Amino acid sequence: MKHIPRKRFGQHFLSDRLIIEGIVDAIAPAPGQPMVEIGPGLAALTQPLVERVGQLTVIELDRDLARRLREHPQLKVIESDVLKVDFTAVAQDLQVPKLRVVGNLPYNISTPILFHLLEHVDVVQDQHFMLQKEVIDRMVASPSTSDYGRLSVMLQWRYAMENVLFVPPESFDPPPRVDSAVVRMVPRETPAALPPKLLEELVQVAFSQRRKLLRHTLGRWLEARAFAGQFDTQRRAEEVPVAEYVALAQAL
């Protein structure tokens, strides 16, 4: 029975064989690697992955799709909202130190998923995600560009990232109204140690009025915290490199 894509789950199923091969090549799965796929859908990416790794854990919210996936002997199915999945517990359950995480993420909740995984980064070897190209442009953006923002800073602090593959709308059924791309995210081995919530709050304040100089936003926030250190607030938020935001969070 044909599965009808559900709008509420943001379902767009990958159907282009060449693109699928390109994604699998970018991931470069090897036998025995502990891999978790988010949103396997109709298993277009799942099947070539499981053929290479042998066993695969998949996270699927749609119960009809989850039921189909359970029929596959090499899949362990977690039927759940990915935002409720404890990836640290998944790694413990599989008795492995690190997971390789992949998936075609639902565009309507892609950013919350990225921040959820940030909380479990210590058990992640790498991540390969298909996302809206616009989101990946923001993830990998450099300072002093219009795409550079909160997402850029929070993720670049913790990951080395690159846009590895462009995916046009016609590669999906049904085609989305946006271009897509695949991003590779590799956790940094020695990230700057700091409370993530503090950096998140700091960056959120900085970019709350990105057209204004930071003295109007971050400057006042720092004054309220009685910050006595040095930080140039005569700049706009997008002009400050990731390393400076991280250093400021550490100083606080």
Q: Give the Cβ contact number of residue 188 at 10 Å.
A: 12
Phi, psi of 167 (to 5 degrees): -130, 110
Segments in the chain forming alpha helices (H): 17-27, 46-53, 63-70, 87-94, 110-118, 133-139, 150-158, 196-206, 218-224, 242-251
Going by the annotation, the residues of the binding site are 12, 14, 39, 60, 81, 104
Contact 61, 38 (CB under 8 A): no
Q: Give the Cβ contact number of residue 111 at 10 Å.
A: 19
Q: Give the Cβ contact number of residue 27 at 10 Å.
A: 23
CA distance 23 to 104: 10
CA distance 99 to 88: 9
DSSP 213: B
**β-sheet bridge partners, residue 35:** 100
Going by the annotation, the residues of the binding site for S-adenosyl-L-methionine are 12, 14, 39, 60, 81, 104
CA distance 77 to 67: 9
CA distance 69 to 74: 9
Contact 3, 65 (CB under 8 A): yes
